[in-house]
Chain A
Amino acid sequence: MPPYLVGREKVREFSRAVFATNPINFDPEAAQAAGYADVVAPPTFAVVVQEATLAQLLAEPDAGIDFTRVVHGDQRFSFSRPIVAGDELTATLTVASVKSLGGHSMVTAESTIVDASGAHVVTATSTLVVRGDE
Chain B
Amino acid sequence: MTNKTVPATPGLDSLSVGDIVAESSFPLTRDSLVRYAGASGDFNPIHYRDDVAESVGLPGVLAHGMLTMGLAIQPVVDWAGDPARVVDYQVRFTRPVPVDPDLGAVVTVLAKVGALDAEAGVARIDLTVTFNNTTVLGKAQARVSLV
Contact = CB atoms under 8 A, between A and B. Distances in A.
Interface in B82-115: 82-84, 86-93
Q: Is the interface of B mostly helix, strand, loop or mixed?
A: mixed
Interface of B: 1-7, 26, 32, 35-36, 38-42, 56, 65-67, 69-71, 73-74, 77-78, 81-84, 86-93, 139, 142
B41 A22 contact: no
25 contacts: A16-B35, A17-B36, A18-B39, A20-B77, A21-B2, A22-B77, A23-B2, A23-B3, A24-B83, A25-B83, A30-B6, A33-B6, A40-B83, A42-B70, A43-B89, A44-B73, A48-B40, A72-B66, A73-B92, A73-B93, A74-B90, A74-B92, A74-B93, A74-B139, A75-B93
B82 A22 contact: yes
A23 B5 contact: yes
Contacts of A13: 38-39
A53 to B, nearest CB: 13
Contacts of A43: 70, 73, 77, 83, 86, 89, 142
